[in-house]
Chains A and B, each alone.
Chain A
Amino acid sequence: MANIVVDARGSSCPGPVVELSKAYRNAKVGDIIEVWATDPGIKADAKAWADKTKNQIIGIKEEEGVIKVSIKIVNR
């Protein structure tokens, strides 16, 4: 079980969700992917992505303009 950070700061939509999807390709069930983004679209996009891929959002926080979304991989 790994904690994977996807640093998509500065990348515009749909960059962060693309980076998330790339990280997901190599992730295993139980891993946590944390996406860092500055594009505000990521909040809704990560939810849509998680719904679609049947994974779980376990946290969304904002620190100094950086949105950090944690997603637990429960489906491969």
Chain B
Amino acid sequence: MPKKKSKLSIIMFSGTADKFLPLGILSQAAAAMGFEVNIFVTGWALLSFTKNAKEPPFPNEFKDMAPALMSGLKKMNAKPWQEMLKEAKEMGAKVYACSTMAGVMNIKKEDLNELVDDIVGAATFLEMAEGGETLFI
């Protein structure tokens, strides 16, 4: 019997810039490895998936280190998280906005940017994630 397809599900909750890096890197790497990738965007992270969203802020405790991180990333030719996620999506990754958080923040489907595939509930996402690895970022 063929092995079941590997699967990575990410619950993206945090809204700070440092957390968007692993989102981009892991989703892109997993998609390149042929994993099924499902991303559930909730909490503060959802604000960064709206149209005309500002860049997510750095957390206060690491603010002083942000310039060094940014210049280091530039030196390594690392792409911005949005581009990494776009590439992951081209390889099949899916991004779902949390229906509850969208309701709480009064964010409608048309307010979300092109990275988001659909608005779903937690139960739908858990069903998608079942049997694979799930990360909460």
Chain A interface residues toward B at CB < 8 A: 10-15, 17-18, 20-22, 45, 48-49, 52-53
Contacts and interface: CB of A to CB of B under 8 A. Distances in A.
Interface residues of B, number: 14
B77 A20 contact: no
B77 A48 contact: no
Given A48-B33, A52-B33, A53-B34, A18 B78 contact: no
Given A18-B87, A52-B6, A12 B32 contact: no
A48 B29 CA distance: 11
B77 A15 contact: yes
A21 B77 contact: no
Contacts of A53: 33-34
Contacts of B6: 52
A18 B28 contact: yes
A18 B25 contact: no
A41 B78 CA distance: 14
Contact of A12 (B31, B34, B78, B87): B78
A14 B34 contact: no
A10 B33 CA distance: 21
B76 A17 contact: no
Nearest to B6: A52
A10 B77 contact: yes
B76 A12 contact: yes
Given A18-B87, A52-B6, A13 B25 contact: yes
Given A18-B29, A52-B33, A53-B33, 9 more contacts: A14-B25, A14-B32, A15-B79, A20-B32, A21-B31, A21-B32, A21-B33, A48-B33, A49-B32
Contacts of B76: 12
Contact of B33 (A12, A22, A49): A49
26 contacts: A10-B77, A12-B76, A12-B77, A12-B78, A13-B25, A13-B29, A14-B29, A14-B32, A15-B77, A15-B79, A17-B29, A17-B33, A18-B28, A18-B29, A18-B31, A18-B91, A21-B31, A21-B33, A21-B34, A45-B29, A48-B33, A49-B32, A49-B33, A52-B33, A52-B34, A53-B34
